[in-house]
Chain A
Amino acid sequence: MQKILLIATLFIGFIGSSTAAPREWMSVDSSSTKFELNNMRFSNRARCALDSKVPTDSAFLLVTNTDVAKAVYRLAKLRGEDTNTLTKYGIEVFRYSVVQMIQLIHEKIMNRELPLLSADTTNDDLHIPAEYKNVMLSCKNDEYCSGLDDYIAKLWKIGSRKVPAATKVVNFYDVDNFHSKDSYILEKNFKKHQYNTELKCHYLKKFSPLQAHLYGTKPDKAALESIARAALDSSTFLAECNDVEAQKNLQVAAYQLEITNLHDRRWKKKGFDYWNSVKLYFSWAFRNAPEMKQIASPFASVFKGVAVEDAVMIVPNGCKSITAPKCDGDYLAQQAMREFAKEDFRENALDLDVLSSVPEGPQDDLLADPFTSVNIDELDLGGFANAESWLANFRENFAGTRALMKKKLIHAVSTLNIAKAKLDPKKVTDLLEKRFSVLINSVGTTSPELDQLKNELYYLCAEYSFADHNEFSFLKGKLKLLRETTLIDGLAGEISVEKTKVLFDYYSKIADKVMSGCAALDQKQIWNDSFTLDKTGFSTWYISKVYESKFKSTLKEKNLEYLKTNKPLIAWKAYADTAALEDVICTNASDCSRNILKSIVDLYSVTQYAATFWSMQQEINTPALFNPYAERTACKVYDPWYKTKSVLFNLFSDMSQAALSVAAPGMIYGRFDLKPGQVVSFNQLVKDGRISYDTNYERTRVTTSLVADFGPLLGVPCAVSLSRTNFNPYDSYRFAGISVGACHSNEDNNLNVRTASDIDPNASTTHSECIACKLNFETVTNSLVHLSTDVGPTFFLFRAVFRLYKGLKDPHNIPRSWEANPNFISETYRRFGEIPKRCVRSLRKGKRCLANSCETNVAEAITDKLKGVIEKMYAPKNGTATVKLSTCNKEIKLRTNSRNNTNGCRIGKIKVPVSCSSIIKE
């Protein structure tokens, strides 16, 4: 009986839920529907990686006021005005100016009053205006480019003329051959709001389910309902961009920008150009546009001086990008900014490469963590009470680290310039000889002073050996790169008398002298058995690199002790009055030599992440903060299509491996310093000893070698497994993850290294080809296991089937995405009081879900033709539908007609009350 009751209850419950949709729409006030948002795109790992190549239509504009606030505060002090009032006012005007200028540029671009400036000037297949191309090519990344400013000034002047847009298009063509077809977002139409592509701006109070795509992947019913509730309570999370009262935090402000009604195909083609144009025009216009006088009044003159690229950042809202990802140092360094957003940044700061004394560089992170997670609140948005405190934490960490880097850079440049000007290398040698002669002449004797000198000499020789030894120094090659870069000259040219090249040559001469001096020493006599090294006297950078910072450096204390009884070798004049250590350049010859080396190491470390901290180009930073796969895809560390292709490919290759594995495979491994596109002789590599062949394959040894070889990103590591067949020992053979094949005989055994993870659909066809050196880090570990000589054909056959099964179920590595429109989700929720299960699927596809096709069609027609959000609706299958829109206080009517035997519902002409005629879209 109980059973029957239960079933009956369930049945009633089922009936109840299927008819639970209330007839009346949920009653909400107009503030609940005032924010219209773009689609939210939920992506898994592989789709997120792919999306990085697509331009975003939604972004966060992050504005920092610290510099502006400081300046206006000082201005108030200087003028005797109320500091609080003026500072607050200055911040408000600054934020307003940033948002307004971006809006103005957007309008000008959309109205064809400014042409698009191509993001990729190297692609010969695109039409790029010749002068623009020349200007961009002549602009070095690390130097101010006056040509670009002049060029933009010219375009802006045309764009501001009081003539029709069509005339401007002709003028742009005359000036620099801007084609009307290629150089604008809107094609061949001069109607102002062809797609009504406005730039919506919302002030972000709190991160909420409205940014759910940053927290998770596939949205379920519960997720959709929380999005709906957040959308209805949107005024808690969002505000109008010009709502000054809502913007409480005086340091930072975050805005959500959304471009609406874009033509999809056109946007995919031109989106990156759009963002590139916004960045370039903004940097110029904020300082130079005549419109700024009015927009930034009364602070226009002050704001002209703001380093606006340091104060403003635009980051994509999700996996899509603002800048097309590239595998280069600058792009990678910019992505390193994610670290600063982490809640636990301070706890982990010392372990971060960016703060390391000798950083490995931004590429290191890709290799250390190639399969990092994505869309699981990687930036700890949920860890902060509101968006402002998240941003404040981010900017504080960022600015603090930048200040450290700046200090390092200034100190290094200053020390090297002074040393170069005052101590020639010959003089350094003489002084070193003089300093250590006592030591050399008194071999066999001991005293505390001599022990101190022995230590000092040891530090000098050890530190220089570490950085400059021809065979053992891993650092020497890296430091040499400094000589070739103009990065430091661009950054610190104004404070350096000498160019980096000259400073590096000076260091090299000193290093040669020190190294030859150290080599000539009778080391066993000086550092004999009775000598105990005081490790704490090494420089901090050396302790960090060699002793992993296990103890603190006492170099500073030792120098202070030295200065109690000695004059410093070089000091600022102020030292005569202050006797402060900060006014000492270096205490003695050995300290000066070590300081010169330290300065070079510091310059090297600054260059590694320079692009993270300084915008060297005249454009604002736009890192893909929420997509760590942007750089992983660009650098081919992660191939989003790999899994899809490999699922089928593995089935085939495992079958063939099953046959091949009858012969015990040996192993070749090695590191090729090859760049994509380069062709080198495989035989030559073997001959040069750059490849080792190990028949007694030991897994641990190979693992170590491979891991070590993954160091520099562009030194593509390859492993080759030999099948030892009679016809061609280098015949193609592949296994998952890493594969190298050699060419067939007619290609003369050349290796054609293309990109790291291109996958050929079929590697063992007999046609003549050079197979690329390929790697995919994800499967490296697996591959090593599979290389074991013990595994036989059965294993490979089993793996083939298992892989196919597993591969097709992979939730991360087969690209998947879901689109959800927060306005539609909110609409469904208001219609039913919940998100019905049957609606989850269509809402996840970005579609509407209402009670029936008549309601859906009426909603489509109304929102297509009229402005506003549907607050409630009554739509019978046959009859007069009435709709209440947020923008009109009267009901809007239209006829509906559906035949019983079809799903279709025809709708008639929309009747808009005369008093609401302004809501009709243009």
Chain B
Amino acid sequence: MKNLLLSIILFSISSLSSAYTVESSWNDKYEKELSFYCSSEDTMCLDLCGEATMCKVKEETCHNCIGTSITLTYIFNYMGKAYTNTGVETLDGEVLSSLKGSEFVSFSSRSIYNHVDRFNSSSLKRNFRSLCTDGTRYPIVLFKKNRGSQRVADVQFVFCDNGVFEMEFGADVIINMEENKTLF
């Protein structure tokens, strides 16, 4: 009941800023799916599965995602550090082709793939939330899935309440070449 209430509140808040919201969940058959809730002015749900307001996209479990692989550990430890939001908005077409191709993996701070930290831990929430500038509670990051190995591949984009943004993998670091004797 609590969850339902929270979802409704979230949904109504998010619908103020974005045309659709995304939720990652596991259904009653314990299969993973991405749920899209679209407002009347958005065609994402329609384009995805022909429904106007809601669409569920099945997400096949990625191989070796339940375990402590180096890649998974890195993703959860370095989200927001090595994986960052470029600020460039992703075109709907790109999102659609990625979802329709079914070769994707989604992560959030509430992911069951997280074996690095406690479920939805505050540090994990902080790292994921740092990806969105609008305070999205549970940003969902989409990675590509390797067609052959079915394992996680490159990072693609992040679903924030205020839009979908391209992500990049690299070192988002500060450099102080001058070795100044001053603090930040």
Docked-complex contact B175 and A311, CB < 8 angstroms:
no
Docked-complex contact A570 and B70, CB < 8 angstroms:
no
Is B31 in contact with chain A by the CB < 8 A criterion?
Answer: yes
Considering the chains assembled together, what is the distance between the CA atoms of A146 and B151 in angstroms?
Answer: 11
Docked-complex contact A570 and B175, CB < 8 angstroms:
yes
Whether A567 contacts B66 in the complex (CB less than 8 A), given A299-B30, A418-B173, comes out as no
Q: Which of the residues A305, A431, A491, A568 comes within 8 Å of B61, measured between beta carbons?
A: A305
Is A808 in contact with chain B by the CB < 8 A criterion?
Answer: no
The segment out of A65-73, A326-334, A693-701, A797-805 that lies at the interface is: A65-73
Is A494 in contact with chain B by the CB < 8 A criterion?
Answer: yes
Docked-complex contact A435 and B151, CB < 8 angstroms:
no
Is B137 in contact with chain A by the CB < 8 A criterion?
Answer: no
Considering the chains assembled together, what is the distance between the CA atoms of A767 and B105 in angstroms?
Answer: 70
Residue of chain A at shortest CB distance from B108 = A78
Q: Which residues of B contact A311 (CB under 8 A)?
A: 67
Is A669 in contact with chain B by the CB < 8 A criterion?
Answer: no
Q: Which residues of B contact A302 (CB under 8 A)?
A: 26, 30, 61, 66, 112
Is B40 in contact with chain A by the CB < 8 A criterion?
Answer: no
Q: Which residues of A contact B181 (CB under 8 A)?
A: 565-566
Docked-complex contact A421 and B26, CB < 8 angstroms:
no
Main secondary structure of the interface of B (DSSP, over half): loop
Docked-complex contact B148 and A146, CB < 8 angstroms:
yes
Docked-complex contact A573 and B148, CB < 8 angstroms:
no
**Nearest chain A CB to B60 CB, angstrom units:** 7
Count residues of B near A (Cβ-Cβ below 8 Å): 57
Considering the chains assembled together, what is the distance between the CA atoms of A411 and B157 in angstroms?
Answer: 25
Docked-complex contact A491 and B82, CB < 8 angstroms:
no
Whether A494 contacts B66 in the complex (CB less than 8 A), given A567-B179, A567-B183, A589-B179, comes out as no
Whether A67 contacts B115 in the complex (CB less than 8 A), given A301-B31, A305-B66, comes out as yes
Docked-complex contact B170 and A421, CB < 8 angstroms:
yes
Considering the chains assembled together, what is the distance between the CA atoms of A614 and B67 in angstroms?
Answer: 12
Q: Which residues of B contact A758 (CB under 8 A)?
A: none
Is A406 in contact with chain B by the CB < 8 A criterion?
Answer: yes
Docked-complex contact B68 and A67, CB < 8 angstroms:
yes
Q: Which residues of B contact A303 (CB under 8 A)?
A: 66
Q: Which residues of A contact B3 (CB under 8 A)?
A: 80
Q: Which residues of B contact A402 (CB under 8 A)?
A: 68
The segment out of B47-55, B72-80, B92-100, B158-166 that lies at the interface is: B72-80
Q: Could you say which of B82, B110, B130, B173 has the most chain A C-beta atoms within 10 Å of its C-beta?
A: B173
Docked-complex contact B151 and A406, CB < 8 angstroms:
no
Q: Which of the residues A494, A566, A570 comes within 8 Å of B174, measured between beta carbons?
A: A570
**Nearest chain B CB to A745 CB, angstrom units:** 58
Main secondary structure of the interface of A (DSSP, over half): helix
Docked-complex contact B175 and A422, CB < 8 angstroms:
yes
Docked-complex contact A421 and B66, CB < 8 angstroms:
no
Docked-complex contact A497 and B170, CB < 8 angstroms:
yes
Is A182 in contact with chain B by the CB < 8 A criterion?
Answer: no
Is B19 in contact with chain A by the CB < 8 A criterion?
Answer: no
Considering the chains assembled together, what is the distance between the CA atoms of A587 and B70 in angstroms?
Answer: 26
Considering the chains assembled together, what is the distance between the CA atoms of A566 and B182 in angstroms?
Answer: 6
Whether A569 contacts B177 in the complex (CB less than 8 A), given A491-B70, A574-B80, comes out as yes
Could you mark each residue 374-416 of chain A with 1 if its beta carbon is under 8 Å from any beta carbon of chain B, else 0? 0000000000000000000000000100110010011000100
Docked-complex contact A146 and B71, CB < 8 angstroms:
no
Q: Which residues of B contact A573 (CB under 8 A)?
A: 81, 172-174
**Nearest chain A CB to B113 CB, angstrom units:** 7
Considering the chains assembled together, what is the distance between the CA atoms of A70 and B114 in angstroms?
Answer: 9
Considering the chains assembled together, what is the distance between the CA atoms of A417 and B169 in angstroms?
Answer: 11
Docked-complex contact A75 and B26, CB < 8 angstroms:
yes
Whether A494 contacts B152 in the complex (CB less than 8 A), given A302-B66, A305-B113, A571-B174, comes out as yes
Docked-complex contact B61 and A310, CB < 8 angstroms:
no
Q: Which residues of A contact B81 (CB under 8 A)?
A: 572-574
Docked-complex contact B110 and A68, CB < 8 angstroms:
no
Q: Which of the residues B78, B120, B170, B179 comes within 8 Å of A566, measured between beta carbons?
A: B179
Contacts A80-B3, A406-B73, A589-B179 aside, 14 further interface pairs with beta carbons under 8 A come to A67-B67, A75-B112, A77-B119, A299-B30, A302-B30, A302-B112, A305-B61, A305-B64, A306-B66, A402-B68, A406-B68, A414-B78, A569-B179, A571-B173
23 contacts between A and B (CB under 8 A): A67-B67, A73-B119, A75-B26, A78-B26, A79-B25, A79-B26, A149-B149, A302-B112, A305-B61, A305-B63, A305-B64, A310-B67, A310-B68, A403-B68, A410-B74, A494-B71, A494-B153, A565-B181, A566-B179, A566-B180, A573-B173, A575-B174, A579-B184
The 5 closest A-B pairs by CB, nearest first: A307-B67, A146-B148, A305-B61, A74-B112, A305-B66
